[in-house]
C-alpha cells in the first residue's frame, strides 16, 4: 500500500468523523439560515404566503403501541392517551402485548373504554410484527406511533395532526424530551445536539427518521415492516421520504421518557440500535437514491458517517502505525491517537463505576461508549450474532 494512500487514510478518517460531529452541524446551521433568509426576503418583497395550510377537519387517528413486559408502565400510558385533547370519537388506541410474560396482556384487556383496542398475542414475535398487525386492524387516515413508557403532553396529537395540513407532508415527528431522576442524564448534551440537527434538517427538507416515541404518518404511506426490523421508527419515516413525501418536525408536539443515569444501562440499547442502523443501511439502498438530494446529504453526514466512525478511526490508526515505521512524525501522530482512545476508555470505565465526571469528560465517555457500541453492532450484524443486544433499559 502506497505511502500517499496510507497518509490519506490516516488523515481522512479523523477528518470525516470531525466533519460528522462538528462540521456538519455548523454547515447545516448556515444553510438553514441562508434558506430562512431567502424565504423571509421572498415574503417581504413578493408577499408570498408562508403560513401552514389548515386542515379542513380533524381526521381520525390510530395510536399504535407495541408492548413487551410493560406492566410497570402500560396502565398509566393508556390513561395518558385517553386524556389527550383530541375528539374522543376520532381516536382509537391499538395496543398489542407481544407475548409478554408479565401482566401486560391482562392490564390492556382490563380497559372497558371502546377507544382501546387490546390485542394480547400469545407468542413473542418482535415489535415489527406487532406493529404490522396493529396498523392493519385500523382504518384511520393518520397513524401515530409511540412507546409504552412514554408520556404525551395533552395537545401532542393535535400538534402532530396539524402538520398534515400540507398535502406534501407524509410524516410528522414530534419532540422527545429525556428526563433523569437525578439530573445526571448522560445523553443530555448529545440529545440536545440531535434535537438541533432535527430542527434544522427539517427546515431544509432533510429530516432523517423520526423520534420513535412520538411521530405520525399518513396511513396510505405505510409499508409493512420485515419481521426482524430493529429500527422500525427510522425505517417507517425513511420509507415516507423515499416516497418523495415530506418529513417534518413539530417541536410543539412533545413527549417525555425517563432516561438512565448510567451509560452502561444504555449500552445494550445502543448496540441494538446500532445493529438496526447497519441493517437499514444494507437493506434499504433506496434511502440514498429515491430520496431528495438534501436528504441524501444529511443521511450520509448525520447517520452513515456516525455509524462507521469507529471503523474510520481504526483504519486511520492502523495506517498511522504503518507510516510510523518510516517517520517519527507519524509515530507521534499514532501515539497521540492511542493516548486519546486510552483516556476515553478510562473515562468510560470510571463512569461505569459511578465516578462523577465533569460535563465535558462525561461527554467524552459517552461518545466512546457510543462508538464502541457501533463497532460491536457492526460485528454482530455481519456475523448474525445478536445475542446480548436486547437487554431492557428504562428507555
Domain ranges of the chain: 61-259, 306-383
Q: Are strands 61-67 and 169-179 parallel, antiparallel or unpaired?
A: unpaired
Residue 45 is predicted with a pLDDT of 77
The DSSP code for 52 is P
Sorted by sequence, the CB contacts under 8 Å of residue 282 that are 6+ apart come out as 381
CB-based burial label for 192 (10 Å; 0-12, 13-18, 19+)? exposed
Q: What are phi and psi of 227, to 5 degrees?
A: -55, -30
H helical segments located in the chain: 3-18, 24-46, 74-82, 104-109, 127-137, 156-162, 188-203, 232-242, 263-283, 286-289, 293-298, 305-307, 309-323, 328-352, 359-383
pLDDT above 60 for 246: yes
Mean pLDDT of 310-318: 97
Least trusted range by pLDDT, from 101-105, 262-266, 283-287: 262-266
Sorted by sequence, the CB contacts under 8 Å of residue 293 that are 6+ apart come out as none
Out of 60-74, 179-193, 372-386, the most confident range is 60-74
User: pLDDT-based confidence at 233, cuts 50/70/90?
Assistant: very high
Query: How many beta carbons lie within 10 A of that of residue 39, not counting itself?
Result: 13
Residue 389 is predicted with a pLDDT of 41
Cα 228 from chain centroid (whole Å): 18
Beta bridge partners, 179, equal 258
Instruction: Give CATH for domain 61-259.
Output: 3.90.550.10
Residue 37 is predicted with a pLDDT of 84
What confidence tens digit (pLDDT) does each residue in 114-127 have?
A: 999 999 999 999 99
Amino acid at each position: 500500500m502506497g505511502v500517499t494512500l496510507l497518509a490519506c487514510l490516516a488523515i481522512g478518517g479523523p477528518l470525516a468523523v470531525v466533519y460528522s460531529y462538528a462540521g456538519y452541524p455548523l454547515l447545516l446551521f448556515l444553510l438553514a439560515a441562508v434558506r430562512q433568509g431567502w424565504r423571509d426576503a421572498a415574503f417581504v418583497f413578493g408577499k408570498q404566503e408562508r403560513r401552514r395550510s389548515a386542515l379542513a377537519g380533524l381526521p381520525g387517528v390510530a395510536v399504535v403501541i407495541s408492548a413487551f413486559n410493560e406492566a410497570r408502565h402500560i396502565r398509566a400510558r393508556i390513561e395518558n392517551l385517553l386524556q389527550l385533547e383530541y375528539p374522543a370519537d376520532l381516536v382509537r388506541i391499538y395496543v398489542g402485548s407481544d407475548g409478554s410474560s408479565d401482566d401486560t396482556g391482562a392490564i390492556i384487556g382490563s380497559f372497558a373504554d371502546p377507544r382501546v383496542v387490546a390485542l394480547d398475542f400469545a407468542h413473542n414475535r418482535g415489535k415489527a410484527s406487532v406493529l404490522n398487525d396493529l396498523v392493519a386492524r385500523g382504518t384511520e387516515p393518520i397513524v401515530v406511533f409511540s412507546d409504552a413508557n412514554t408520556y404525551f403532553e395533552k395537545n401532542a396529537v393535535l400538534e402532530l395532526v396539524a402538520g398534515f395540513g400540507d398535502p406534501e407532508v407524509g410524516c410528522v415527528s414530534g419532540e422527545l424530551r429525556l428526563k433523569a431522576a437525578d439530573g445526571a442524564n448522560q445523553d443530555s448534551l448529545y440529545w440536545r445536539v440531535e434535537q438541533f440537527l432535527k430542527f434544522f434538517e427539517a427546515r431544509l427538507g432533510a429530516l432523517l427518521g423520526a423520534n420513535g416515541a412520538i411521530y405520525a404518518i399518513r396511513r396510505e404511506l405505510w409499508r409493512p415492516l420485515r419481521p426482524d426490523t430493529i429500527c422500525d421508527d427510522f425505517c417507517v419515516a425513511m420509507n415516507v421520504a423515499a416516497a418523495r413525501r415530506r418529513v417534518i418536525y413539530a417541536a410543539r408536539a412533545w413527549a417525555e421518557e425517563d432516561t438512565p443515569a448510567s451509560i452502561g444501562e444504555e449500552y445494550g440499547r445502543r448496540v441494538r440500535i446500532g445493529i438496526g442502523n447497519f441493517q437499514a443501511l444494507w437493506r434499504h439502498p433506496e434511502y440514498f437514491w429515491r430520496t431528495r438530494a438534501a436528504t441524501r446529504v444529511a443521511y450520509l453526514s448525520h447517520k452513515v458517517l456516525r455509524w462507521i466512525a469507529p471503523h474510520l478511526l481504526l483504519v486511520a490508526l492502523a495506517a498511522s502505525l504503518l507510516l510510523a515505521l518510516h517517520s517519527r512524525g507519524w509515530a507521534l501522530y499514532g501515539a497521540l491517537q492511542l493516548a486519546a482512545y486510552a483516556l476515553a476508555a478510562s473515562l468510560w470505565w470510571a463512569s461505569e463505576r459511578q465516578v462523577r465526571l465533569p460535563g465535558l469528560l462525561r461527554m467524552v465517555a459517552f461518545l466512546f461508549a457510543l462508538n464502541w457500541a457501533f463497532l460491536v453492532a457492526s460485528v454482530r450484524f455481519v456475523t448474525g450474532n445478536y445475542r446480548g443486544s436486547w437487554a431492557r433499559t428504562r428507555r
